[in-house]
Amino acid sequence: MKKRAPTVCPIVYALDIWGDPWSLIILRDVLIHNKRHYREFLASREGIATNILSARLQSLTDAGLLVKIEGASSRAQTMYRPTQKALDLIPVVFAVMHWGLKYNPNTDMDIPIMQELISNEKGLERRLLKNFDDVTS
């Protein structure tokens, strides 16, 4: 992605990092679905192309939202883990989900996380954060 000159606007700053659809979907997969490996991201129902996935993982790593942990014996073992900077986006991801729930008539309400978001958002956040006890500031 083409980078613009540094900005004083916090909205522009945020969107420059995670404002494209694929980056936000990858963040959703990391934060909500606890995906860690390239093949898991590739298997998402949205069907991201391999070149776009590689580029977005790299840009999220460069922006300090993900940490790339190289596999000991193969690239297939390489993991991506969120940083605290990414974990701080959980309320933002929830807000986007709430907006989508309100306005998207095609939302699949049979997905358990949608029910949990509506009925126990704070509990959902606590449950998700337990997946990342290893993350330090």
Q: Which of 4, 86, 65, 76 is nearest to 38 (CA)?
A: 76
- The pLDDT tens digits for 35-58 are 999 999 999 999 999 999 999 999
- The pLDDT tens digits for 97-119 are 999 999 999 988 888 999 999 99
- The pLDDT tens digits for 62-95 are 999 999 998 777 777 899 999 999 999 999 999 9
Q: Within 10 Å of residue 18's Cβ, how many Cβ atoms?
A: 22
pLDDT > 70? residue 137: no
* Backbone phi and psi for residue 81, each to the nearest 5 degrees, phi listed first: -125, 150
Token pair for 38:
């390239």
Find residue 100's DSSP bridge partners.
Answer: none
Rounded Cα distance between 112 and 7, Å, is: 39
Whole-model pTM: value is 0.87
Helices (H), 1-137: 10-18, 21-31, 38-42, 50-62, 84-87, 90-103, 112-119, 121-129
Rounded Cα distance between 56 and 80, Å, is: 12
